[in-house]
A = this chain, B = another copy of it.
Amino acid sequence: MTTTAQDLSTPEAALPRLPAHEVIYRQLRDLVLFGDLAPGEAVTIQGLSERLGAGMTPVREALRRLIAEGALVFQGNRRVSVPLLSADNISELILARQWVDPHLALRATERARLSDLNQLRALDDELDVAIARGDLRAYLELNYRFHKRLYEIAEAPILARMADGLWLRFGPSLRVVCGRMGTQNLPDKHKAMLEAMQARDSEAAARAIREDVIQGMEQVRQSLEQSGALC
């Protein structure tokens, strides 16, 4: 009854009410990208419902979303699971990222403000710390956020969503590979990219990202090829 005037006094809590299905979606997304949800592992709606402490309906909606984005697949009749990537799938992903990521990097370089560059640099610094600590989870999350931030700076929402969708597909496999190899042997081209961006050399930035993508994806391909036959 008390029409509580919206409490705007807390500037940090700008998210007064987030729908449950949205919350569930983000939790599941993080679970797929960074969490313990391994490729091939099957989950049930009711299982997730209990695990996340929510009703079935929000879980169902979140699942529909993730399935539509390719992060999950309808495993046969009764289960959803993180998809296992075939060699052909990996080739497709490499091909697609090899095009879209450099393009976004190019646009981002043209549009980046100083604050954007600083944010990227800060993320990359945190990333180095995570690598040094051997913190796999933090590495995965920061690496993702680095690229995601780059997509946002490019101001190309449709291409950014395409790139984001691709990430959702290979993220789980990347996690598996990194878990096997440890965080030490994970070189990236972020430094070269940042330098190119600072120099406003879009072509060089695109080239650096392209190398970064190829390097990472080829690692995934090789690791999956030699280890899991059916992966």
Contact = CB atoms under 8 A, between A and B. Distances in A.
Interface of A: 21, 57, 60-61, 64-70, 88-89, 92-93, 95-96, 99-100, 103, 155-159, 161-162, 165-166, 169
Contacts of A161: 70
Contacts of A89: 157-158
Interface of A is mostly: helix
20 contacts: A21-B64, A57-B57, A61-B61, A61-B64, A64-B68, A65-B65, A65-B67, A65-B68, A66-B68, A68-B69, A88-B155, A88-B156, A89-B158, A92-B157, A92-B158, A93-B158, A95-B103, A96-B158, A158-B169, A162-B165
Contacts of A166: 158
Nearest to A85: B158
A159 B96 contact: yes
A102 to B, nearest CB: 11
Contacts of A92: 156-159
B162 A96 contact: yes
A155 B103 CA distance: 25
Contacts of A70: 158, 161
Nearest to A158: B92
Considering the complex of A and B, which 4 residue pairs feature the smallest CB-CB distances, nearest first? A68-B68, A92-B158, A65-B68, A64-B64
A53 to B, nearest CB: 20
A105 to B, nearest CB: 14
A7 B100 CA distance: 43
A100 B99 CA distance: 9
Given A60-B61, A88-B155, A96-B162, 11 more contacts: A21-B64, A57-B60, A61-B61, A64-B65, A64-B68, A66-B68, A68-B69, A93-B158, A96-B100, A99-B99, A158-B166
A138 B95 CA distance: 34
Report which residue of A57, A161, A169 has the largest number of chain B beta carbons within 10 angstroms of its beta carbon: A161
